[in-house]
């Protein structure tokens, strides 16, 4: 069981409809009433979005479960309270989708995994809106968004469904038939938020040579006419990660690129969202650049992939806009080593800072 299991939530506090698959789509739960005091007065309600007592039997299994947002109301998610431990869940992701990958109660959503003979379906439908809203790993604690900031879902948002993805790296504890309800409690309100939150995920593909230190790097330009105010970041690698750093890159009046640190972290500490190093705005024409320093003590090549034997290089940047909608761009990935580096001539990056794990200050 997860550490916050067994909490009783009144049905009147549900803002969402659970999606269950019996003979097609069966809706359970209740719509949030407009006269419910939890939201009508501007207060915050809580919704438990948890795995439905699953018992995974395949190592490195990615499981997804969906909920449908009440389509008659716009909601704003303002906090995330994880219901999980790293002894059970390797990591969790919360997706915002136009449609889920399937209407099943749960499904194998390890879309990056190698073929295992099982049907695998992505968290979101193939042609629908898709974004990552929240991520958790390594016993990270609760996240509250800044005052006045919220993730918009429901009626006036392309996010019509939320999908919870849990990666079960190890399944020894389930061999006796034990079940799990890992997930997250979502704090929400109906009170409109002028400052809309977004999450940009930067990551890489690539390989790490045996017994070497390698840098996995990515960068992307903000080409939408929006002003982003960063407020939190989260890093993610598996066991070989030593440091992950993210930067805003902007050219000054002399054409020299200035690298402003957004966040820098040892990825083997709790993988929660931390306050950014700088709240300076990010505007069109800026680049966001990320480097993961990976140190291999293995006598084999390690590739980027979904399993515990693979690696990942991810940097999540949470930001808000104070008017209009968030970025259309939700993801930014590179080929990674040995094909992509910041120093490649075609990246346009220069004045690159020297980043080492030994320079990391926690």
- Kindly state whether residue 37 falls inside one of the protein's structural domains: no
To the query of whether residue 215 is one of the catalytic residues in this protein, the response is: no
Assign 118 a pLDDT band (cuts: 50, 70, 90): low
Q: How many domains does the chain have?
A: 2
37, 62, 64, 137, 171 from 54: Cα distances, Å: 33, 12, 11, 19, 11
- Kindly state whether residue 15 falls inside one of the protein's structural domains: no
Which two structure tokens, joined as six digits, stand for 252?
């000054």
Q: Check if the beta carbon of residue 60 is closer than 8 Å to that of residue 306.
A: yes
Q: Which of 20, 272, 312, 318 is catalytic?
A: 312
Query: What residues contact residue 155 under an 8 Å CB cut-off, 6+ apart?
Result: 70, 71, 72, 73, 74
To the query of whether residue 91 is one of the catalytic residues in this protein, the response is: yes
Same domain (yes/no): 299, 262: yes
Residues 127-151: what's their mean pLDDT? 92
To the query of whether residue 238 is one of the catalytic residues in this protein, the response is: yes
Same domain (yes/no): 154, 257: no
Query: What residues contact residue 42 under an 8 Å CB cut-off, 6+ apart?
Result: 189, 191
Same domain (yes/no): 216, 187: no
- Kindly state whether residue 21 falls inside one of the protein's structural domains: no
Same domain (yes/no): 208, 350: yes
Domain carrying residue 246: 200-358
Same domain (yes/no): 204, 329: yes
Q: pLDDT per residue over 55-96, tens digit each?
A: 998 888 999 999 999 999 999 999 999 998 888 898 899 999
- Kindly state whether residue 35 falls inside one of the protein's structural domains: no
The CA distance from 38 to 33, in Å, is: 10
| 236 annotated as ligand-binding | yes
Same domain (yes/no): 72, 125: yes
- Kindly state whether residue 139 falls inside one of the protein's structural domains: yes
**How many alpha carbons fall within 13 Å on the CB side of residue 217?**
18
| 238 annotated as ligand-binding | yes
The CA distance from 204 to 339, in Å, is: 11
pTM of the model as a whole:
0.84
Residues 137-149: what's their mean pLDDT? 91
| 91 annotated as ligand-binding | yes
Same domain (yes/no): 328, 204: yes
Q: Which of 51, 238, 272, 318 is catalytic?
A: 238
The CA distance from 263 to 184, in Å, is: 24
Same domain (yes/no): 49, 187: yes
Q: Which of 131, 165, 271, 287 is catalytic?
A: 165
Q: pLDDT per residue over 284-330, tens digit each?
A: 999 999 999 999 999 999 999 988 899 999 999 999 999 999 999 99
- Residue finishing a domain among 168, 193, 218: 193
Percent of the chain with pLDDT over 70: 84
The CA distance from 263 to 334, in Å, is: 19
Q: Which of 32, 91, 287, 318 is catalytic?
A: 91
| 323 annotated as ligand-binding | no
Same domain (yes/no): 186, 271: no
- Kindly state whether residue 211 falls inside one of the protein's structural domains: yes
Which two structure tokens, joined as six digits, stand for 276?
């950014």
| 90 annotated as ligand-binding | yes
Same domain (yes/no): 206, 188: no
Residues 333-350: what's their mean pLDDT? 96
- Residue finishing a domain among 193, 214, 240: 193
- Kindly state whether residue 331 falls inside one of the protein's structural domains: yes
Same domain (yes/no): 218, 97: no
- Residue finishing a domain among 134, 167, 193: 193
What's the CATH number where 118 sits? Answer: 2.60.120.310
Say if strands 61-69 and 107-108 run parallel, antiparallel, or are unpaired: antiparallel
Count of CB atoms situated within 10 Å of the CB of 327: 17
Same domain (yes/no): 223, 140: no
Closest CA to 200 of 125, 142, 133: 133
- Kindly state whether residue 266 falls inside one of the protein's structural domains: yes
Q: Which of 20, 32, 236, 271 is catalytic?
A: 236
To the query of whether residue 354 is one of the catalytic residues in this protein, the response is: no
What's the CATH number where 282 sits? Answer: 2.60.120.230
Q: Which of 92, 167, 215, 318 is catalytic?
A: 167
To the query of whether residue 236 is one of the catalytic residues in this protein, the response is: yes
Q: pLDDT per residue over 200-230, tens digit each?
A: 999 999 999 999 999 999 999 999 999 999 9
């Amino acid at each position: 069981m997860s550490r916050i299991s067994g909490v009783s939530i009144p049905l009147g506090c549900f803002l969402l409809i659970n999606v269950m698959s019996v003979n097609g789509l069966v809706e359970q739960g209740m719509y949030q009433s407009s006269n419910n005091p939890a939201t009508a007065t501007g207060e915050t309600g809580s919704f438990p979005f948890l795995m439905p007592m699953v018992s995974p039997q395949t190592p490195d299994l990615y499981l997804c479960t969906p909920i449908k947002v009440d389509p008659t109301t716009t909601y704003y998610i303002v906090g995330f309270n994880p219901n999980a431990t790293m002894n059970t869940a390797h990591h969790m992701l919360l997706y915002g989708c136009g449609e889920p990958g399937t209407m099943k109660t749960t499904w194998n959503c390890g879309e990056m995994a190698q073929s295992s003979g099982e049907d695998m379906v992505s968290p979101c439908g193939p042609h629908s809106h898709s974004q990552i809203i929240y991520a958790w790993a390594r016993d990270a604690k609760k996240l509250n968004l800044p005052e006045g900031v919220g993730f918009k879902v429901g009626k006036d948002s392309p996010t019509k469904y939320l999908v919870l993805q849990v990666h079960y790296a190890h399944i020894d504890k389930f061999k006796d038939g034990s079940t799990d309800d890992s997930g997250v409690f979502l704090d929400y309100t109906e009170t409109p938020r002028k400052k809309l939150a977004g999450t940009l995920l930067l990551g890489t593909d690539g390989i790490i040579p045996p017994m070497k230190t390698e840098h996995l790097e990515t960068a992307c330009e903000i080409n939408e006419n929006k002003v982003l105010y960063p407020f939190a970041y989260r890093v993610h690698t598996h066991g070989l990660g030593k440091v992950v750093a993210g930067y805003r890159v902007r050219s000054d009046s002399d054409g020299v690129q200035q690298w402003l640190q957004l966040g820098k972290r040892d990825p083997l500490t709790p993988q929660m969202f931390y306050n950014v190093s700088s709240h300076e705005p990010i505007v069109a024409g800026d680049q966001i650049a990320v480097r993961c320093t990976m140190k291999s003590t293995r006598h084999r090549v390690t590739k980027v992939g979904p399993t515990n034997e693979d690696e990942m290089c991810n940097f999540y940047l949470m930001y808000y806009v104070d008017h209009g909608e968030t970025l259309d761009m939700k993801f930014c990935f590179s080929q990674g080593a040995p094909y992509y580096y910041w120093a490649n001539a075609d990246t346009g990056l220069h004045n690159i800072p020297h980043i080492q794990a030994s320079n990391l200050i926690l």
